[in-house]
A and B are shown apart, each in its own frame.
Chain A
Amino acid sequence: SQTIHQWPATLVQPVGSPLSLECTVEGTSNPNLYWYRQAAGRGLQLLFYSVGIGQISSEVPQNLSASRPQDRQFILSSKKLLLSDSGFYLCAWSVQNNQPQHFGDGTRLSIL
């Protein structure tokens, strides 16, 4: 069966520090991969999605970036975090043909 792993579960970082969140999927090949952010008291905002290795689409301009170095690995990064980057970050995957997305357990990021 397919599984998705996100880490770390929680992270506290100072303003201006770098960020790297990792997401991996097991049990499937060539999935679509997604990064979402859920700010406190708000809905989910799609940040990036990828349909293949090295293919990244950005939905919202920001100081975050994403990379997909391997088929089932999706990384969210920042060179310098802002206070507004605080939130709950969720990775998700889906197969092709209009199938549901499956989410990881999320990373709660607090910026001090």
Chain B
Amino acid sequence: GDSVTQMEGPVTLSEEAFLTINCTYTATGYPSLFWYVQYPGEGLQLLLKATKADDKGSNKGFEATYRKETTSFHLEKGSVQVSDSAVYFCALSEVGGNEKLTFGTGTRLTIIP
């Protein structure tokens, strides 16, 4: 079955540091890939997505590129801020799979000033 493996957390960085959160996936078809963010006490918000190989999703300074050859969708940001502190979830959705999302376990990110 489909699965998503995410970099274990928690991750603590200083403000303005470079961020990478690794995500790899296993899927039988050609999934769409997503990053969701969960701020403390809130639900999940879509951060970015990519629907086919070599697509780059980007939002709020975050980027992730759909790499079919390495089955990866790593999240990056060049300079993090304290307000980026949250839990980040990588997820995939199979085409024709009733849009069900398979999530990674989440990575808690804390940015210190």
Contacts and interface: CB of A to CB of B under 8 A. Distances in A.
B58 interface: no
Interface in A97-112: 98-106
Interface string A33-59: 010000000111010010100000101
A44 B95 contact: no
In this complex, the member of B46, B89, B101 whose beta carbon has the largest number of chain A beta carbons within 10 angstroms is B101
A4 B95 CA distance: 24
27 contacts: A32-B98, A32-B99, A34-B100, A42-B106, A43-B89, A43-B103, A43-B104, A44-B106, A46-B100, A49-B98, A49-B100, A51-B98, A90-B43, A92-B101, A94-B99, A98-B51, A98-B95, A98-B99, A100-B34, A101-B99, A101-B101, A103-B36, A103-B43, A103-B45, A105-B43, A106-B42, A106-B43
Given A44-B103, A49-B98, A57-B98, A100 B49 contact: yes
A106 B98 CA distance: 22
In this complex, the member of B32, B44, B98 whose beta carbon has the largest number of chain A beta carbons within 10 angstroms is B44
B43 A99 contact: no
A90 B44 CA distance: 8
Top-7 shortest CB links A-B: A43-B105, A103-B43, A103-B44, A44-B103, A105-B43, A106-B43, A100-B46
